[in-house]
Structure 1
Amino acid sequence: MMKRSLLLAGALAALTTAAPAEAESPMVHLVLKFVKDKPTRGPAVVLDPVSCPACVVGHDPGFERDNARETLVELRVPAQRSLELAFDSQPGMRRVLLETTDLPFRREGNRLLVALAPLHGDLVDTGEFSTHIVEPGMVLRFEHADPARLAGDYAGKPLPKVQREAANVLEFAEREAIREIGLGEHVAREGLGVIEIMGFDTNEPHGHKDSPPHMHMHLRWPFNIGTQIGHYYLSPEGLLQHNQAGATGFHLPAHDYAPGEPFTTIDNRGRPAYTQTITPEGWLKLTAPLPGGNCLIRPVGQGFASGASVACDGHASQTVQVSDDLEHGVLRVTTGTVIETFRYDRDNGLLLSPTEAPRMPDGTIVPISRTEFPLAHAAATPFAAPGSD
């Protein structure tokens, strides 16, 4: 009995003197972009682990990146903590970005100190280089193809210039068709989600290979519960070849739609929202169950890189041309006689052009509905002519 008591006492003593097990801190996954003020080779920064012993540097090539324009650093850092990260740095770092947000930083000798606010979730899209144009029921994501940023399946190869320019035109041609049909307003009014128009990335942001060259127009349902996503692949001549489509969140096999085979996108209530069909010529038909809801999008030349003609029922045909000036960060879209100019941040693609009209005075009455009702004796009460009194 004495022996058992001694053993128990020893075990209790060991428990009380042993170091407590450390609880695992929640971490968030992020990518920081260090923008160089002039082209250089080799990583511009390296994390000093002493500044954040709990941080973990990642080396996934889909997130970690270095090119002449920028260095992308992949990190896992403690969640909801105010951190100041120190990096051994080359001179000439002009910006530090997290997503499209500039982070405050300062230099101390060869070290760069970056202040990081408490983070509650992963932020890994910093490597994207695209501009988002938002309209009712629709968002257009325009990807900028920078030869200095080519990565993934496009690294070490010539820029797919014709396909990228074809995708540029098709994105804005679809936007024009959506406007003329009134499809975006319909989606917004009915609460069906948002139509997303996209091309393809050439810089593999967040590991997104996005190849071969293609474009999209899909309806993302509310609460992101699922999306039918079509991939409209482009030929070297800039024409549409076929559409490979599947549905996210439902583990369904993708189906390949050949020219002439319609692909119908349904809304979150199971109703047809719109149908897209690649023609035998490599053009695109867009139809929707709305008045005048039939459009044909065809190239003005050999392929869509030359521009597109958009012809919708009840509307005059419109020619769409697109140019992207990477050096100055200017995207110009010509639709008929209308020239639109979108200025964007050359480091991350953030739209800089104004997007909201001036605010109306507080006393302005904005009609939100129309009601008609008879006024008693209205016809028997003549109004005095101006100046008659």
Structure 2
Amino acid sequence: MRRLLIFSVVAFAAATQGAVIEEIRVPSPSMGKDIPACVVLPDKYAADPGMAFSTVYVVHGAGGNYRTYATEELKFLADRHEFLFVCADGGKTSWWFDSPIDPSYRYETHVTKELVPWIDAHYRVIRDRAHRAIMGGSMGGHGACWLGFRHKELFGAIGSIYGGMNLWNFPNSWDIAKRLGPRDEFPERWREHSVVTEAMKLKNGDVNLIMAVGTSDFFLSANRELHNILTSNKVAHTYIEIRTAEEKTSGHSGEFNAMVKPIITAFFDNYFKNGEAQIATAVTPFVTRYASKVTKAAHGTTPAPEIKVPAPWRVVEGDEAKTGLNVREYYFTIEAPGRGLAAPRVELVWPGVAVKTVYGAKNMVRDGDRVLFTPTATKPPTGFTTGWSEGAIRICVFHNVEGVQHGLYRDRPYPAAEVRAQNNWLFAARELFRRAGLAETNATEGAFVRLFGFESNFPNGHVDAPPHFHVMLMWNAWKENNVGHYRLDGKGRITENAFLVCGNVPGYPRTGYFPQQLGETTHYNAPSGKTLFTLEMLRDGTGLVFRRPGVPGEYLLGSSEPVSSVCVSFREDGTRPWRELARVSADDDSLEGVLTIRTTVDGQCSVETVRYNPDTGERIKP
């Protein structure tokens, strides 16, 4: 057996605190080589040597590889559900079938006849279909369905995120023609290798399938086609179609992928435990939704209020992204069949609870314990951020409140140290970029430096975990981005950079994640292709070294105790000692809506106060 621990610093830290990622190489007689994969082991794998585990195989999208999904997020999900993830490699654009024209692409055989048996032989897994599932996104969504439909003896449950279900629609894209030959010459081959064709062979009960797609996705029609085929043939399945106000959360994006993965893994968990996944009603575009948020005058634990709406309206329950209660607010979503319906009048009854106000609503009237209003939002306005611009620098502070955790933070202790540290890193980074001369757009080729924190209490689907802060360089309205995710440990120190490239960023071969480990350097490239600056992570996780190519000197953003403060230092070259320029700390009182930033230079402390609405994060101008 050949096993190699990757991300050694992260894996070592996780051995006592959470899931571990291992890299393996699996012999492939069908392709005459060893093929890598990542295995994500939950913390309980080491803690309970007598326990065998369910397994979820993860197949990546076009241009990706076996490391694409091997992230901290997957580690969180492994610990939450206590099953293994196996992240397979599909040769970038294999489409997860055996190519009839290229014998070097036999990835269906690899997964089903080489990888699964190898995992079964080398890990403590339950070796039956009732405890084995497969999932993937984009090409991987097609692959999960292709492999799951054709190998029902192996995989009991299947999950697809915006899968490319019909290859016929894309004759010149993603190397499909290299795997099947030109579509015009081999039309039957193209039809036979599409999931929508394979689905016609299914009978009800053959598969436990969940599939999700956004209404702005270029694979939307193909997903609807598969859904309609299964529905016509009375094959039970779960189909989720998501429409949001922002393209990035309803399109073919990393945000959508992150939003849906926890839903799919929860589906698998239910299947593994109960033997059959609950089949939900398909969400169609022919539903009108409205939402509001009701804040409490005093924070505290309370029962939920009663919401009264006229038929056929109903409150959407069971999805914390749509309806939920916490110490500071109650938010809810109502829906009715039909498109473009006018919002109804809502009556909220909350005995013993003083309502502060209602957001996402109009025409509010108070009547004792009752509050009457008309909702106006299309999703609950639970976002709690404060943002502003300073030339080429964009700041976004995500306010975190203990007792309001959602998503992957719900069942975990409140990350108080990481919350404090990320604000210190954030505003020290602002100080660095100011001093380095990148606060003006003429110095950044029109791009913007975005400095963002992380959120633990945003329930509308964005899973911003594990704790981290962002250093980004982007342009073209978020469509072309260099996105650094600097992960933090329990002491606020940096553990890695889950570096994400979106769109056409010069110098990078594709959209996707490029994980960077401690000691490595990340290049932030401008629209021209020029590297605008680099950030090197110190090997001990205590800081980042900033350099501008062609500009003398380098800056250090660092601290051995980042929960307390973070320093900005400078030196002329690598032979000189660091000289401290400024020490920065930031305190965010999210209950009162006051952010206090202290910057100490030469012993003199200056204080900057930012006030904001503690219910919405909207900045209050002095």
TM-score band by shorter chain is 0.7 to 0.9
SS at match of 1:183: coil
1:135 aligned residue (369, 390, 410): 390
Q: Does 1:346 align with 2:601?
A: no
1:41 aligned residue (284, 302, 326): 302
Note the alpha carbon deviations across 1:227-280, whole angstroms, 9 max, x for none. Answer: 222211112222111111122347734221112211112123322222111111
* Match runs of 1:66-215 below 5 Å: 66-75=325-334, 83-91=343-351, 92-98=354-360, 103-108=362-367, 111-116=370-375, 126-186=381-441, 190-192=445-447, 194-215=448-469
1:175 deviation in Å? Answer: 0.6
Give, as a single letter, the amino acid of the residue that structure 2 aligns with 1:335: T
Q: Which runs of 5+ in 1 are unaligned?
A: 1-23, 355-389
Note the alpha carbon deviations across 1:344-366, whole angstroms, 9 max, x for none. Answer: 21112221143xxxxxxxxxxxx
Q: Does 1:274 align with 2:533?
A: yes
* Farther off after superposition, 157-166 or 265-274: 265-274
1:307 aligned residue (558, 565, 577): 565
Provide the C-alpha distance between the structure 2 equivalents of 1:230 and 1:204, rounded to a whole number of angstroms.
Answer: 20
Q: Which runs of 5+ in 2 are unaligned?
A: 1-283, 505-509, 573-578
Give, as a single letter, the amino acid of the residue that structure 2 aligns with 1:141: C
SS at match of 2:460: helix
1:103 deviation in Å? Answer: 4.2
1:187 deviation in Å? Answer: 5.7
Report the equivalent of 2:260. Answer: none
Give, as a single letter, the amino acid of the residue that structure 2 aligns with 1:46: I
Q: Does 1:247 align with 2:501?
A: yes
Report the equivalent of 1:297. Answer: 557
SS at match of 2:421: helix
Report the equivalent of 2:492. Answer: 238
C-alpha contact 2:545 2:556 (8 A) present in aligned 1 = yes
C-alpha contact 2:555 2:568 (8 A) present in aligned 1 = yes
Q: Does 1:330 align with 2:594?
A: yes
SS at match of 1:254: strand
1:180 deviation in Å? Answer: 1.0
Give, as a single letter, the amino acid of the residue that structure 1 aligns with 2:346: A
Aligned residue pair count: 319
Q: Does 1:219 align with 2:481?
A: no
TM-score when scaled to structure 2? 0.47
Note the alpha carbon deviations across 1:117-147, whole angstroms, 9 max, x for none. Answer: 5x7xx555x2122221321122211122211
Cα 1:59–1:284 shift into 2, 3 Å: same
Provide the C-alpha distance between the structure 2 equivalents of 1:253 and 1:203, rounded to a whole number of angstroms.
Answer: 26
1:62 deviation in Å? Answer: 2.6
Provide the C-alpha distance between the structure 1 equivalents of 2:390 and 2:532, rounded to a whole number of angstroms.
Answer: 18
C-alpha contact 1:309 1:317 (8 A) present in aligned 2 = yes
Report the equivalent of 2:195. Answer: none
Larger radius of gyration: 1
Cα 1:116–1:64 shift into 2, 3 Å: closer
C-alpha contact 1:295 1:311 (8 A) present in aligned 2 = yes
C-alpha contact 2:292 2:333 (8 A) present in aligned 1 = yes
Provide the C-alpha distance between the structure 2 equivalents of 1:307 and 1:161, rounded to a whole number of angstroms.
Answer: 15
C-alpha contact 1:245 1:254 (8 A) present in aligned 2 = yes
Provide the C-alpha distance between the structure 1 equivalents of 2:528 and 2:289, rounded to a whole number of angstroms.
Answer: 35
1:318 deviation in Å? Answer: 0.4
Higher relative contact order (CA 8 A, sep 6+): 1
Provide the C-alpha distance between the structure 1 equivalents of 2:389 and 2:459, rounded to a whole number of angstroms.
Answer: 21
SS at match of 1:280: coil
Cα 1:114–1:214 shift into 2, 3 Å: same
Cα 1:223–1:29 shift into 2, 3 Å: farther
C-alpha contact 1:45 1:71 (8 A) present in aligned 2 = no
SS at match of 1:303: coil
C-alpha contact 2:292 2:375 (8 A) present in aligned 1 = no
C-alpha contact 1:64 1:73 (8 A) present in aligned 2 = yes
Cα 1:103–1:153 shift into 2, 3 Å: same
SS at match of 1:49: coil
Q: Kindly, what percent of the aligned residue pairs are identical?
A: 26
Question: Which has the larger helix fraction?
Answer: 2
C-alpha contact 1:213 1:233 (8 A) present in aligned 2 = yes
Cα 1:31–1:167 shift into 2, 3 Å: farther
* Farther off after superposition, 274-283 or 30-39: 30-39
C-alpha contact 1:63 1:127 (8 A) present in aligned 2 = no
C-alpha contact 2:309 2:344 (8 A) present in aligned 1 = no
Q: Does 1:61 align with 2:320?
A: yes
Cα 1:49–1:220 shift into 2, 3 Å: farther
SS at match of 2:456: coil
